[in-house]
Amino acid sequence: MSASRHQDWDAAASGEVIAAHAGQQGALLPILHALQARFGWIRDEDVPLIAQVLNLSRAEVHGVLTFYHDFRRSPPGRHVLKLCQAEACQARGSRDVTAHAEQKLGVAIGETTADGRVSFEPIYCLGLCASGPAALVDGVPVARLGVEAMDRLLDGALT
């Protein structure tokens, strides 16, 4: 899910996405997911649009948007590398792999490289716990991701 696959944002297109899900019960999460899938991240301008359609206050929408780790409020890097930080992957060496990737990318986990190439993000469990370290690389699952495999990834698919 690199940023290039996302559409350019405008208020009308955002409004269409919101309207498509507004009829569901408890529509706010489906709307936020749909906006992010379409445009890559959630803009501040989306908040009043959603609030109006769902008859919520902007504060309520903001509260939900900022509660969940998945929702982005700024554009991601061209590639998104989500590396599992949970215990089962720790037991299979993910702390070393994380440190290695941080060193190689020159950013701490949770940050995007200065050139906008990679957003390196923590994720807590992909359910691949017998095959760790595990990651989602632009949405694609990758397991048995040791230091050498991480090198190949960073020098290959994530360039």
Partner 1 sequence: MTVRVFVPGDMAAVAVGAGAVVDALRAAAAASGVPIEIVRNGSRGLFGLEPLVEVLTAAGRVGYAAVTAADVPALAASGLFEGKGGHPKFIGDPKALPFFQRQTRLTFARCGVTDPQSLDDYRRHGGYRGLERAVAMTGEAIVDAIKLSGLRGRGGAGFPTGIKWDTVRLTPAAQKYIVCNADEGDSGTFADRMVMEGDPFLLIEGMTIAGVCTGATKGYLYVRSEYPFAVTAMQRAIETARRAGLLGAAVAGSSHAFDIEVRVGAGAYVCGEETALLESLEGKRGQVRAKPPLPAHAGLFGKPTVINNVLSLAAAPFILGEGAQAYRDFGVGRSRGTMPIQLAGDLRNGGLFETPFGVTLGDLIDDIGGGSISGAPIRAVQVGGPLGAYFPPSLFDTPFDYEAFAARGGLIGHGGVVAFNDSVDMAAQARFAMEFCAIESCGKCTPCRIGAVRGVETVDKIVRGEDRSANLTVLEDLCETMKFGSLCALGGFTPYPVMSALTHFPEDFGAPSRAPEAVV
Positions that interact with partner 1 (CB under 8 A): 25-30, 32-33, 54, 63-64, 67-71, 84, 86-92, 123-132, 134, 136, 139, 141-144
Nearer to partner 1, 107 or 149 (CB): 149
Nearer to partner 1, 11 or 68 (CB): 68
| Cα–Cα nearest to 140, from 155, 116, 158, 124 | 158
Structure tokens, 8: 């350019």
| Cα–Cα nearest to 153, from 96, 106, 105, 107 | 105
CB of 104 to partner 1, least distance (A): 21
CB of 107 to partner 1, least distance (A): 19
Nearer to partner 1, 12 or 54 (CB): 54
Q: What is the DSSP letter of 73?
A: S
Nearer to partner 1, 8 or 70 (CB): 70
| Cα–Cα nearest to 81, from 141, 2, 137 | 137
CB of 55 to partner 1, least distance (A): 12
Q: How far is CA 27 from CA 23, 58, 111, 124, 146, in A?
A: 7, 15, 30, 25, 40
CB of 91 to partner 1, least distance (A): 3
